[in-house]
Chain A
Amino acid sequence: MSADDQAAFRFPQGVLAREVQGELVLLNLGTEQYYGLDQIGADIVTRLTRGPVDAALIALESTYSVDGAVLRTDVEALIEELVAAGLLEATDPR
C-alpha cells in the first residue's frame, strides 16, 4: 500500500491542481472556482493528498516549527475552506 492509498484528501474529479514556482493553483473546471495557495498552503495540501492527516501535521510541525494546536486549527480551517469550494474532498467521507 502506497502513501497515496492512505491519503486523507484528494482533488475531486474535475479539479485541476497546478504547481507554479512552488505554489499551487486549484481550479474547479466545472464551476471555475479558482484558488491560489502560497508555498506553505501548497505544502499543506500536498501532504494531505499524499498521506494521513496526523502524519501531515507531524511533518508540518517539524518543518515550520509551529505550535501544534495552532497548526491543527489553521490546517482544519484551510481544509474546510477548500472542501466548501469544491476543490478538495475527503477520501473517506465518513
Chain B
Amino acid sequence: MTGEALSRVAGGIRVALRGVHHPSDDLSLRVVGTASIAIPESRPHVGLTPDGQPWRRVWALPDRLVLEYLDVVTVQVEDDGTVFFDEDLPADVEEHLVYDHVLPLFLARRGAVVLHGAVLGSGGAAIVLSGPTGAGKSTLSAYVAQLGWTVGGDDGAVLSFAADVTVEPTYPTVRLTPDAVQLLDLPVDVGRDVAGKRRTEPGSIATTAWTPTRLAAVVHIQPTDGGAGFTRLQGAEAHASLFAVTFHADLGPGGLLRNVVDRLAVLAETVTVGRLAVPRGARGLAAAERILATVIAEGS
C-alpha cells in the first residue's frame, strides 16, 4: 500500500496505515509494523458483548495502550502515535481496527470526549446517532444522506465543549452491510470491502468538508418490530446512556474519566438526549428520518 496519510480525521491527527507515507510529527497515528507485544500483568478493563462475553481487554499504561482483541490480535498504541500489531492481518481488517477501534481510543486518551455514533447534520445543527453494533446507525445515516442531510461519518463523534457543544466525526466514511446496500438501492459495488462491509470512500456518502457543528441531540437508536417513537431522557438516565456509548478514557493517566463524567453531565443538561425506536425496513427508515428532523429542528 502506498500513498499519503489520511488527514481528514478529527483532532488534527493524520492516520497512516502500514506502508503509507506519514510525516514524522507527533500528531500522526501510524502503523509501523508487527512486533512481539507483552501482555501486562496489571488488571485490564474488559469489554463485554451484549450477551456478556469478553471480546476485548485494555490496559492503560503510563505511556501506551495495549489492546487485546480476543482470538484476533493484540495492538500496542504508544502515546506518540506509534501502533504495532502482534501479527500480520489482512489489510482490510487492520484498517478496520485502526479507524474504528484504535483511533477513537487514541483521541479519548488525549482528552477528547468521543461517542460511538454517526454524525449527521441538517440546518446548521448536528445529531449524534448512537446505538449498538447492528442497530442500523450506518443504514439510517446513508438513508438520510439520500434525503439531503449532511453525513460526517458513521462511527465516532468527537465533541468539543465551549459556549456550545460542537461535534465532528472521527473520519468521513460509512460502512454498510450487503443488506443495507440492497435496502438503500445502492450499487452492490459501492465503496470497497473492509472487514465484511462496504466502506464508502470519503466524500461519497460522508462529506470530507464537515466542520465542527453545534450539537442539538444525541439519539440512541433501537430496532423494533413495533412503531417508530422517540423517548426523551433526562438527568441520571440521560447521563448513563451517554456514558454507555463513550469511548472511555479511563484508559489513561490523570483523571480523564473524571473529565468524561463532567463533560457528559454538561451534555445531558444542554442537548436533547433520547431513544429512537426504528421499525425494521424501508418504512422504518422513513419514519425515523421524520422524527430526527423534528428533533434537530427543536434543538436548533
Contacts and interface: CB of A to CB of B under 8 A. Distances in A.
B260 to A, nearest CB: 9
B261 A16 contact: yes
Contacts of B45: 32
How would you classify the secondary structure of chain B's contact residues: helix, strand, loop or mixed? helix
A37 B257 contact: no
A22 B262 CA distance: 14
B185 to A, nearest CB: 42
A55 interface: no
Contacts of B261: 16, 18, 25, 27
B236 A36 contact: yes
B236 A29 contact: no
A20 B239 contact: yes
B170 to A, nearest CB: 23
A4 to B, nearest CB: 21
A27 B257 contact: yes
B257 A39 contact: no
Contact of B268 (A20, A24, A39): A20
Contact of A16 (B235, B248, B258, B269): B258
A5 interface: no
B238 interface: yes
How would you classify the secondary structure of chain A's contact residues: helix, strand, loop or mixed? strand
Interface in B232-262: 234-240, 243, 248, 250, 257-258, 261-262
B239 A25 contact: yes
A21 B239 CA distance: 10
A37 B238 CA distance: 12
Interface string A12-46: 00001011111111010100101011110010000
Nearest to B243: A34
Interface in B253-278: 257-258, 261-262, 265, 268-269
- Counting contact residues on chain B (CB < 8 A from A), the size range is 10 to 19
A22 to B, nearest CB: 6
B265 A29 contact: no
A26 B160 CA distance: 24
A41 to B, nearest CB: 8
B252 to A, nearest CB: 12
Contacts of A18: 239, 261-262, 265
A20 B268 CA distance: 7
B239 A36 contact: yes
B56 to A, nearest CB: 14
Contacts of B239: 18, 20, 23, 25, 36
Contacts of A38: 235-236
Contacts of B235: 20-23, 36, 38-39
Nearest to A27: B261
The listed residue with most B CB atoms (<10 A of its CB), out of A32, A39, A42, is: A32
Contacts of A22: 235
Contacts of B238: 20-21
A32 B258 CA distance: 11
Contacts of A21: 234-235, 238, 268-269
A93 B237 CA distance: 31
Interface of B: 45, 234-240, 243, 248, 250, 257-258, 261-262, 265, 268-269
Interface of A: 16, 18-25, 27, 29, 32, 34, 36-39, 42
Nearest first, the 10 A-B pairs at minimum CB distance are: A36-B236, A23-B235, A23-B236, A21-B235, A20-B265, A20-B239, A36-B240, A25-B239, A18-B265, A25-B236
Given A27-B243, A29-B257, 6 more contacts: A18-B262, A18-B265, A20-B235, A21-B268, A23-B235, A25-B265
